[in-house]
Amino acid sequence: MRIATWNVNSIRARVDRVVDYLERADIDVVLMQETKCKPEQFPLAPFAAAGFEVASHGLSQWNGVAIASRIGIADVETSFRDQPSFGKPGVDPVVEARAIGATCGPLRVWSVYVPNGRGLADPHYAYKRAFLARLADAAATWTDQPVIIGGDFNVAPTPTDIWDEADAEAPTHVTQEIRDDLKRLADAGLDELSRRFIPDERRYTFWDYKQLRFPRNEGMRIDFVYASASIATATTACVIDRDERKGKGASDHVPVVIDLDPDRLT
């Protein structure tokens, strides 16, 4: 069984490329972020033609998360317990489309898109910290089941997970407090699987489009797969598929893919 997480950076713009990858890589479940569309705008037909059911959650042309599965989808949730809301001053806060959960075959899976933070003095940074804290609180109640939380976490957990910690666009990704906030998922009993199989430095999952960041390998490792103990026991491999950042129409993120042996699930 193969499970992928991928910030697709607009599913309508990249649907052909995404579906082509799912078929080539023999993916069973993909957790998508930054789909940038409402459910009625999601391009379902190409996924259906490839044998995938889709559950999506989006409120506007921003954010958005989805799960596509060829092993079934049931019990869909479009937020986790106590997921925080956010709104600009003078605007009623809303619970944004940043999380979706579903049961796919023997797995409970969540696709999450953690807020960027924008700036250390910006209210979005406090929102980011609250989102991570409440996600960890919710996840602590899920660890007795085979659960996966995959997504774009917008945190570079170690200094070697970013090409330059002084990058002007990444201050909210590298503070000690935000790294500690992300660590709460591990404290809740979840293993980050890509690190176990790919511990090497400078193995990034995101490269900005500008200033030749990808050819220069000036990126960040911010996309991860967290899993409960039963999933960790059954995981046999992980790939960060760097080649998917190449070519025309690529997302600025690449898929992170794990292989599971269903017979080893406990």
pLDDT tens, position by position, 232-247: 999 999 999 999 999 9
Q: How far apart are CA 173 and CA 120, in angstroms?
A: 10
Q: How far apart are CA 36 and CA 34, in angstroms?
A: 5
* pLDDT reported for residue 201: 82
* pLDDT reported for residue 200: 83
Q: How many domains does the chain have?
A: 1
CATH number at residue 94: 3.60.10.10
| E strand spans, the chain | 2-7, 29-33, 53-57, 65-69, 74-77, 99-104, 107-113, 147-152, 191-192, 223-227, 235-240, 256-260
Query: Using the 8-state DSSP alphabet, how is residue 72 labeled?
Result: -
Torsion of CA 198, 199, 205, 209, to 10 degrees: -130
* pLDDT tens digits, one per residue of 206-234: 999 988 999 999 999 999 999 999 999 99
* pLDDT reported for residue 89: 75
* pLDDT reported for residue 169: 86
Residues of the chain with pLDDT under 50: none
Strand partners of residue 14: none
* pLDDT reported for residue 265: 87
* pLDDT reported for residue 141: 96
Full domain range(s) for residue 58: 2-264
